[in-house]
Amino acid sequence: MQIFYSATTTLFVLLHLFSHLILISAECSSSCKENSANDVNRTNLSDGNSLEEAVIDAILKQSKINSRVELRHFEIPKITKNMLKNISSVIISIDFQSNKITEIENGSFDEMSKKLEKIDLMENCLRKITKHIFSDDFSELQEINLSFNAINSIEAGSFDRFIKLSSIDLSNNCVKHLHSNLFRQNDALREVHLQHNEITKIEFHVLALKAELNIFDLSYNNLDFIPQFKTKNIQHLNVSHNKLIRFDLNYEFSHKAHLEALDASHNNISACAKGIRKDIVRLDLSYNQIIDLSEFPVLLNLELLQISNNKNLSDLWLEKFDERFSNLRILNISETSIQCNEFKYLRKAFPSISISTESNFVTECRNFSSYDDHFITKIINSKHDEILMQLKLNRSLLITLLSILTVFVSIPIVFLLRNHCFSIKHSKTESLIEQIEL
Ligand SMILES: *[C@@H]1O[C@H](CO)[C@@H](O)[C@H](O)[C@H]1NC(C)=O
Ligand SMILES: *[C@@H]1O[C@H](CO)[C@@H](O)[C@H](O)[C@H]1NC(C)=O
Ligand SMILES: *[C@@H]1O[C@H](CO)[C@@H](O)[C@H](O)[C@H]1NC(C)=O
Ligand SMILES: *[C@@H]1O[C@H](CO)[C@@H](O)[C@H](O)[C@H]1NC(C)=O
Ligand SMILES: *[C@@H]1O[C@H](CO)[C@@H](O)[C@H](O)[C@H]1NC(C)=O
Ligand SMILES: *[C@@H]1O[C@H](CO)[C@@H](O)[C@H](O)[C@H]1NC(C)=O
Ligand SMILES: *[C@@H]1O[C@H](CO)[C@@H](O)[C@H](O)[C@H]1NC(C)=O
Ligand SMILES: *[C@@H]1O[C@H](CO)[C@@H](O)[C@H](O)[C@H]1NC(C)=O
Ligand SMILES: *[C@@H]1O[C@H](CO)[C@@H](O)[C@H](O)[C@H]1NC(C)=O
Ligand SMILES: *[C@@H]1O[C@H](CO)[C@@H](O)[C@H](O)[C@H]1NC(C)=O
């Protein structure tokens, strides 16, 4: 009985594991299956000629000087070097969208490397990108679209030959890991799309030091940290819809990218890590689990803070609010647990900040009692008094310091002057004596 029981359990566990594995792999190649299923218009290239010849024919028909070749919705399962051999330096873009490509022969595109500006390979069934696929220098290539494949591995160095690469779309694949040096040679890179993958790991030095990115989209992945990149500039970093639990910008790097907008919304952030940053101007932390801002980093340049839909957020930590958010212009606290008194206090004390809340919240706060109003005014006034006191204190302190300094500086000066005069007199008499001797 016991043996039977454990045997069935083992079997059950095995079955469970197996189905889990199937589920994972199915999830990842689903885009690939979907594409082929939905495609009613596929031309059957296997009829008549050999596949390769058919593709060559189709390409030749379209290729004139500086032309763009489009081979969408065929049944092409593989790109071979032969297919693209005879169109060498004529075309500037080639589009293989929605085929069934699972493999690209080494160096297939190399014959076109001096002229090609754009390669489209989206909606295929590619699984691996290796550094041998694009092995010549592509001196003009600016865009490559590899989205909606089933790519789960990208070898470091795969894009090293794209000297002018500006935009790469790897979204909607199964990428788990970004190797170091992946885009290290791509100085001109402006857009990286990696949304809808399964990324958990990002190694150091992914980007070129000189790159200035417009957008780095890492939304819909499995990241549990906010990656920092060592490059010049990133305008928008998008890590929304990941698995972040901590708002931490301190991830070590001596020269982090200058970051302008950060979208970390739709995560599970409940903790924040202190720190200071001067770069971030727009920050989206909506749809998280933040409860208070006590540990929030000081963001000196922050103008827009979206913190709506943190349902349990009840404390904005208003002490030193103006110092911590000295440049804030818009604050979105709708769908939070912020209370009327805090809201009213914000409105009175910081009239330059426009606060966005639900409209019913504002009406609810309207019949907030006059006693509370009085209380808030008192806080603000006492705060003003405090500042004035501080200023007065500072002034008297400054005066005292200055007088002490004057005394201390004047003593040696007088002494020096005296000495100097004496030495002049002394040297004068000396020279006089010399002259007399002469
Ligand atoms: C599919 O084929 C029909 C008829 O041949 C054509 O009108 C339509 O434009 C095609 N659709 C696509 C997406 O190629
Ligand atoms: C394409 O043609 C080949 C050969 O005629 C045939 O075996 C195959 O089923 C066709 N495929 C489709 C999708 O029609
Ligand atoms: C490519 O062109 C060469 C000559 O220009 C020709 O001999 C060869 O057959 C062509 N190859 C294909 C696959 O069309
Ligand atoms: C591509 O080239 C690499 C290195 O030369 C080799 O290991 C690999 O087998 C090649 N792949 C194919 C499909 O020929
Ligand atoms: C890449 O192709 C996909 C699918 O056609 C498209 O939605 C996306 O906008 C393209 N990416 C870029 C950067 O143009
Ligand atoms: C980040 O990604 C989400 C989902 O793709 C999108 O809605 C949002 O606009 C993006 N944010 C930025 C700043 O690009
Ligand atoms: C969010 O984080 C908390 C711990 O901080 C954890 O208990 C919870 O399961 C997480 N929720 C999700 C959806 O990951
Ligand atoms: C948020 O508040 C609700 C109701 O007060 C409570 O049930 C829930 O546990 C709180 N969630 C967190 C993450 O503190
Ligand atoms: C504030 O957040 C809410 C809910 O996320 C959104 O509907 C609204 O547009 C936001 N307001 C501003 C000014 O961004
Ligand atoms: C505001 O006043 C109305 C009517 O005087 C009352 O019904 C409502 O409960 C009050 N709301 C709050 C939040 O006190």
Residues 350 and 323 both lie in one domain: no
Task: Give SS3 for 402.
Answer: helix
| pLDDT score, position 301 | 96
Asked if residue 259 lies in contact with residue 234, where contact means CB atoms within 8 angstroms, the answer is yes
* Ligand approaching nearest to the C-alpha of 271: 7
Cβ–ligand 9 contact at 332 (below 6 Å): yes
Bridge partner residues of 212 (DSSP): 233
**What pLDDT, on the 0 to 100 scale, is given for residue 372?**
66
CA distance linking residue 170 with residue 183, whole number of Å: 13
270 touches ligand 7 (CB under 6 Å): yes
CA–CA dist 204, 256 (Å, integer): 11
Domain range enclosing 431: 339-438
Distance of CA 362 to the CA centre of its chain: 34
For residues 63 and 87, the answer to whether their CB atoms sit within 8 Å is yes
Do both 324 and 306 map to the same domain? yes
Same domain, 332 and 276: yes
Assigned token pair, 340: 């009327």
The domain boundary, picked from 319, 338, 357, lies at 338
Let me know whether 334 and 366 are in one domain: no
Confidence at residue 17, expressed as pLDDT on a 0 to 100 scale: 45
Number of compact structural domains in the chain: 2
Per-residue pLDDT tens digits of the chain, which is 438 residues long: 444 455 554 544 444 544 444 444 435 544 554 444 444 445 555 444 577 777 787 788 777 777 888 888 888 888 988 888 877 567 899 999 998 899 999 999 998 888 899 999 999 999 999 999 999 999 999 999 999 999 999 999 999 999 999 999 999 999 999 999 999 999 999 999 999 999 999 998 999 999 999 999 999 999 999 999 999 999 999 999 999 999 999 877 678 899 999 999 999 999 999 999 999 999 999 999 999 999 999 999 999 999 999 999 998 888 888 888 999 999 999 999 998 888 888 888 898 999 999 877 877 777 666 656 666 666 666 666 666 677 777 777 888 888 888 877 777 776 676 766 555 555 554 544 444 444
- Chosen domain end from 284, 308, 338: 338
Residue 328's CATH number: 3.80.10.10
- The answer to whether 245 and 267 are in contact (CB under 8 A) is yes
The C-alpha angle 132, 137, 138, rounded to 5 degrees, equals 105
Is there a single domain that holds both residue 259 and residue 379? Answer: no
The answer as to whether 156 is a domain residue is no
* Helices 370-437 and 340-349, packing angle to 10 deg: 40
Residue 227 falls within a domain, yes or no? yes
Closest by Cα among 92, 100, 206 to 148: 100
- Domain-embedded: residue 380: yes
Q: Of 226, 96, 99, 216, whose CA–CA distance to 167 is shortest?
A: 216
Q: Using the mean position of ligand 4's atoms as its centre, give its distance from the Cα of residue 218 in Å.
A: 30
* 412 located within any domain: yes
| Phi-psi domain of 197 (left: phi exceeds 0; alpha: psi -120 through 50; beta: other) | beta
List 292's β-bridge partners, or say none.
Answer: 315
Cβ neighbours of 108 (radius 10 Å):
20
> Does the CB atom of residue 106 touch ligand 4 within 6 A?
yes
DSSP summary character for residue 88 = T
Dist. CA 215–CA 211, nearest whole Å: 11
N- to C-terminal Cα separation, the chain? 130
pLDDT score, position 18: 46
Taking each helix axis from N to C terminus, what angle separates 359-366 and 340-349, rounded to the nearest 10 degrees? 90
Torsion (CA) 238, 243, 248, 249 in degrees, nearest 10: -30
Ligand 4, atom nearest to 105 Cα: 13
Which residues make beta-bridge pairs with 349? Answer: none
Contact 265, 306 (CB under 8 A): yes
Q: What are the Cα distances from residue 205, in Å, to 170, 189, 202, 255, 420?
A: 18, 14, 9, 11, 61
290 plus 390 within the same structural domain: no
- What residues flank ligand 10, with Cβ below 6 Å? 364, 367
Helix, strand, coil percentages for the chain (3-state, nearest 5): 35, 15, 50
CA gap 361, 381 in Å, rounded: 25
Q: Are residues 310 and 348 in the same domain?
A: no
DSSP assigned state of 138: B
Same domain assignment for residues 280 and 376: no
Last residue of a domain, one of 304, 338, 372: 338
Q: What per-residue confidence (pLDDT) applies to 264? A: 98
Residue 242 within a domain: yes
CA distance 75 to 45: 7
Query: Does 93 map to a domain?
Result: no
Q: Whose CA is nearest to atom 1 of ligand 1?
A: 41
Residues 356, 414: Cα–Cα separation, whole Å: 64
**Would the CB of 308 count as within 6 Å of ligand 9?**
yes
**Looking at residue 25, what is its pLDDT?**
42
Number of C-alpha atoms within 13 angstroms, CB side, residue 36? Answer: 15
Q: Which of 34, 72, 122, 190 to mutate to test the pocket of ligand 5 (most atoms within 8 A of CB)?
A: 122
Assigned token pair, 216: 């780095």
Distance 372 CA to ligand 10 centre (A): 15
How does DSSP classify residue 297? P
What is the amino acid identity at position 307?
I
Helices and strands: H and E segment counts in the chain: 6, 23
Nearest CA to ligand 1 atom 13: 41
- The single residue listed with the structure tokens 């404390």 is 315
The residues, any chain, with a CB within 8 Å of residue 140's CB and separated by 6 or more, are 92, 114, 115, 116, 117, 164
Same domain for 366 and 418? yes
Are 313 and 370 found together in one domain?
Answer: no
Same domain, 281 and 234: yes
Residue 111 resides in a domain: no
The answer as to whether 80 is a domain residue is: no
**Amino acid identity, position 376:** I
Same domain, 207 and 333: yes
10 Å Cβ neighbour count for 49?
12
